[in-house]
Structure 1
């Protein structure tokens, strides 16, 4: 749209002038051809120049009036309507003057209002016609601007979400890499191998415990796939190793009801989540009571929904372990948020002497 109030001849404005001038030339040619086809003749060039100049001026005046009314800080339709009627009256007066100077027939002495009677309906029709053109043009402009802004906003949102996802993935990888690189793996496993061989001479149980520990350490230092995940079956294997280690550690028998069901080989998960939750059962739970055994259930259904449930008798109150447990769970939540967003639910119940935890995760 050409702003008649503050016209600035920028490159974009010049382009708009060329496009709209071309449109008006085609529009005038079309109307003149239609008049010539129905009447068979045309008036003099001066008449068409004057009348089209008045009509086109009305079009741009309506366009600027619509923009002023709609783009203001407060939309005031009453003022807009009042201004339009004033503009319409002014337009009809200008057309009446043009009709008087250029019109035909000449005024009769017995009817001085012949131009009003003959030309007012035509002038009013043309005013409404060019007003509707301005309304349609303004509507098309606002619809185009709205769609463009909506697409730009959607594009910006997608870029932000993509950047956030990339940053979260990179942060999770950095955290895992930091944990993995704190100890030199080569040195660690050489030392464990030496301890295993030396201990095996004196105690098979101790040697077996060392071997299980080395398997868990090896797993914790394994590099995940490109998506930051490992095979679920490997994590479940380490749960078995962790349970076996704890059975070696304690002199008293541990009472644990372990239940597993599902196809663990077909799915993947981010590492150390289930292993850490299982470790909390041994670290903070009392598994020595035969009448209150701990419960550990791990299932995967046919839709890939993983459910991890644990229930254990609490140990005696100890503030320090409680703080450490809270930190561990907080780190687990951070990692689950980064990888699974709303695709998981971690629920913790603390009823009386028992502690329950349920993790449901869509793999």
Structure 2
């Protein structure tokens, strides 16, 4: 149905073009008394100009210009326009005898050449706009598909090692018949449920993301005792949404590189003024990495978080990472 409508629209536009093209000079000459347009003239111009314009739109443009062969297009089109311009001058002055202009045929042919060139530009504008619009949409679709594939890949990388370590910990606790085993299984189940049903959504409620972080914290504390996490949450979370699986990268990085002699992580999340503020701070034992060095010295989680932020919040986020004196601090602001 869409194709039929498009074809009908094109037919109507072509018909209107030719009607207005011939109606205007007919009315002008009729009421000024300069010249009476004959049927022979209408047929001649319709055949002559129609042949050139449709040859250009249906053959030359698809073959050359739309394939970026501009030189070939011009070298083919220009001789045709010159020949048609001289042919029109000859027919008007000798056969139809509608031209009362004096001077050589080249002067009249130059006028015909300019007139036909302008007409050609006007007539080819619509198919060119349609072509480049379609091409632009195709590029946008390809870029969207590429971005979606990249996002899925990045999200798939977020927690595979966490799941592996959690399963190993649960297995070890089960062998010892530890009382924490059922709770660990329950927390892991909640994490998997979130990853399966929420992670593919473009946005999730901020409350759900906070619950996911809390479940992750609880599981890690069950896996390794002694870790203390202070998680301060402020604002009306129900009024905000966020792209899932971003904040977890920073939290996971904190647990992975935490100082075994200072097992404390400070977390802050605040929702206010159409923005989400997140801060994560922990002590770490690795040699501090000075700011500005290559990303290869950062963990995979930090790299993934940066890529996700650039893809999902372009020009709408501020990320500051400070590493010094044994403290690793992440400060993130999202404009939502």
Aligned residues: 288
Q: Partners of 1:69 and 1:275 in 2: how far apart?
A: 55
Rate the CA distance shift 1:311–1:264 in 2: closer, same or farther, 3 A: farther
Q: In the TM superposition, what is the alpha-carbon distance from 1:145 to its structure 2 partner?
A: 1.4
Q: Partners of 1:116 and 1:180 in 2: how far apart?
A: 93
Q: Partners of 1:302 and 1:15 in 2: how far apart?
A: 53
Candidates 235, 239, 263, aligned match of 2:234: 263
Candidates 65, 90, 97, aligned match of 1:94: 90
Alignment correspondent of 1:34 = 27
- Tell me the alpha carbon deviations over residues 211-269 of structure 1, each in whole angstroms, 9 at most, x when there is no partner: 6xx698457524222335452445566787789x449xxxxxxxx9x876543995997
Q: In the TM superposition, what is the alpha-carbon distance from 1:339 to its structure 2 partner?
A: 6.1
Alignment correspondent of 1:141 = 127
Matches within 5 A, 1:329-344: 330-333=299-302, 336=305
- Tell me the alpha carbon deviations over residues 265-321 of structure 1, each in whole angstroms, 9 at most, x when there is no partner: 9599766963762574343x4x5xxxxxx8754333444322122346x59x9xxxx
Rate the CA distance shift 1:337–1:191 in 2: closer, same or farther, 3 A: farther
Rate the CA distance shift 1:340–1:263 in 2: closer, same or farther, 3 A: same
Candidates 314, 317, 323, aligned match of 1:349: 323
Q: In the TM superposition, what is the alpha-carbon distance from 1:178 to its structure 2 partner?
A: 5.0
Indicate yes or no: 2:277 matched with 1:305.
yes
Rate the CA distance shift 1:216–1:26 in 2: closer, same or farther, 3 A: same
Partner SS, residue 221 of structure 1: helix
User: Is the CA contact 1:261–1:300 (under 8 Å) kept in the aligned structure 2?
Assistant: yes
Alignment correspondent of 1:252 = none
Give structure 1 stretches of 5+ with no counterpart.
1-13, 105-113, 194-210, 248-255, 288-293, 318-326
Q: Partners of 1:101 and 1:259 in 2: how far apart?
A: 96
Q: Partners of 1:280 and 1:28 in 2: how far apart?
A: 76
Bigger CA radius of gyration:
1
User: Is the CA contact 1:60–1:134 (under 8 Å) kept in the aligned structure 2?
Assistant: no
Q: Partners of 1:61 and 1:279 in 2: how far apart?
A: 68
User: Is the CA contact 2:187–2:219 (under 8 Å) kept in the aligned structure 1?
Assistant: no
Alignment correspondent of 2:190 = 223
Q: In the TM superposition, what is the alpha-carbon distance from 1:150 to its structure 2 partner?
A: 0.8
Partner SS, residue 279 of structure 2: strand
Give structure 2 stretches of 5+ with no counterpart.
1-6, 200-208, 239-243, 288-295, 312-316
User: Is the CA contact 2:230–2:265 (under 8 Å) kept in the aligned structure 1?
Assistant: yes
Indicate yes or no: 2:251 matched with 1:277.
no
User: Is the CA contact 1:347–1:359 (under 8 Å) kept in the aligned structure 2?
Assistant: yes
TM-score by length of 2: 0.56
Q: Partners of 1:24 and 1:298 in 2: how far apart?
A: 67
TM-score by length of 1: 0.53
Matches within 5 A, 1:153-172: 153-170=139-156, 172=158
